[in-house]
Amino acid sequence: MMILWCGAVQAAPQPLHIAVAANFAEPARLIARQFTDTYHIPTRITVASSGTLYVQITHGAPFDVFLSADARRPRQLVAQQQAHADSLHSYARGQLVYLTRGPAPRTTSQLSRQLRQSDSRLAMANPRLAPYGLAAKQTLQALQLWEGQKLVPVLGKNVLQAVQYFRLNTVAHALVAASQQPQGEYQQFVVPASLYKPIIQQLVIPVSATEPGSARKFIGFLLSDAVQRQLTQWGYLCVRDVCQ
């Protein structure tokens, strides 16, 4: 008689589904890779504008973590009881940059003058969907260029598409996230933060999450000192003093 001994087999962890705003797509992929190497938890990433992801979550999309490009939409999900209040955290501060193939402005007045005199088509994300698009609109409003001027915004559904318009020479200049660095020759100018409202990027765990435990591990990893210090190399500012 043959006796078979079967040891307990530990089930492989389920993938952590991360919904990430387009501006943070590449950092999220790199951080997710580091997270998987550390915790052996696989990840799956969905990239779209914050507004698009917000709508999907309100309709029950099974995302485990939502990395928004603003604070408004995660807070709305909490207020609507569609996300866990104790999971709400700020994870990065964004910066807006002006991209051009001509000489880069060095001051706000030079930026205003260049936008008034240059090609009339400017790429930016849709301000109704993307926080960086809203920041671009606020910048143009502050410079009195949003209405009644020859400047024509060319709207991408998210900041990645706006960068694509610039990269493909559809437009001569763009207002996009500092984290987006298209290939090719161009100049950039970091837009003064006084021209737009602060871009505080927040995250939250939706109530529809199927892996909340792994989600909290990922949040702890993202907010760790080691990961926060990496944000500056991707064009972000830290949310704590750790980067100073």
- CATH number at 120 reads 3.40.190.10
Residues 103, 52 share a domain: no
Q: What is the pLDDT of residue 238?
A: 83
Domain count, the chain: 2
How far is residue 96's CA from residue 136's CA, in Å, rounded to a whole number? 7
Q: Is 124 among the domain residues? A: yes
Residues 71, 111 share a domain: no
What is the span of the domain harbouring residue 101? 95-190
* Residue (of 95, 80, 94) closest to 204 by Cα position: 80
Q: Is 69 among the domain residues? A: yes
The answer to whether the annotation marks 190 as part of a ligand binding site is no
Q: Is the pLDDT of residue 119 over 80?
A: no
DSSP state of 106: S
Q: What is the mean pLDDT of residues 162-191?
A: 89
Residues 103, 186 share a domain: yes
How far is residue 64's CA from residue 44's CA, in Å, rounded to a whole number? 10
Q: Is the pLDDT of residue 1 over 60?
A: no
* Residue (of 118, 214, 219) closest to 173 by Cα position: 118
Q: Is the pLDDT of residue 6 over 50?
A: no
The answer to whether the annotation marks 50 as part of a ligand binding site is yes
Q: Is 6 among the domain residues? A: no
How far is residue 57's CA from residue 73's CA, in Å, rounded to a whole number? 10
Residues 106, 162 share a domain: yes
pTM over 0.75: yes
Q: Is 240 among the domain residues? A: no
Q: Is 242 among the domain residues? A: no
Average model confidence (pLDDT) for the chain?
91
Q: What is the pLDDT of residue 149?
A: 72
Q: Is 10 among the domain residues? A: no
